[in-house]
Amino acid sequence: MAVLGELYQRYMELVYGVCLKYYKDPEIAKDSVMAIFEELVTKLKKHEVENFRAWLHQLAKNHCLMQLRTPKNLKTVEFKTEIVQSEETLHLNTVLEKEENFRKLENCLDGLTPDQQESIRLFYLEGKSYNEIVDQTGKEWNQVRSLIQNGRRNLKNCMEQTLND
């Protein structure tokens, strides 16, 4: 207990600072400092601690977070249902947004070279591997890889440009 008292004196400000950071209330932080040092009596018997300062900091942090998560500390806020979007409206907006993005993607895909278009469609839309594309198109493996990479980059640039317009 004498050693624990010495540790309390040495690290009390550290623990208080951690608690104050989480609680934003000096009185609650002081109470937590006491509770944490009471926990130390049992925790130090169970754990082999090599870096006491770091371990104590983590212990204080975990203590504060656990206290904040208790149901009595959870706050509920009333909100007006008329100002919240309904799930149907939100779903419809998402569907329309996806449709618009697909349309833009199709336009950008049409802007690629024919070889890039073919490779991109085979790889991404039909799920073919590089080797299958090589067999189907008769192109070299490195050429297929290059067409897909360049096509993907060009699509990305085009999509970014159309989204910013």
Q: What are 39-65's pLDDT values in tens digits? A: 888 888 888 888 888 988 998 999 999
**Which pLDDT tens digit goes with each residue over 62-110?**
999 988 887 666 566 666 665 555 555 556 667 778 888 888 888 888 9
Residue 138 clears pLDDT 90, i.e. is over it: yes
140 Rama sector, left if φ>0, alpha if ψ -120 to 50, beta otherwise: beta
Q: Select from 53, 56, 52, 75 the least CA-distant residue to 64.
A: 56
| Domains detected in the chain | 2-73 (1.10.1740.10), 109-165 (1.10.10.10)
Q: What is the maximum span of the chain, computed from C-alpha positions, in angstroms?
A: 82
Q: What is the mean pLDDT of the chain?
A: 84
In this structure, the dihedral spanned by the alpha carbons of residues 101, 103, 104 and 110, taken in order and rounded to 10 degrees, is 140
pTM of the predicted model over 0.75: no
Give the burial string for 92-126 (b: 16+ CB within 10 Å, else e).
Answer: eeeeeeeeeeeebeeebbeebeebbbbbbebbeee
Q: Count of residues for the chain?
A: 165
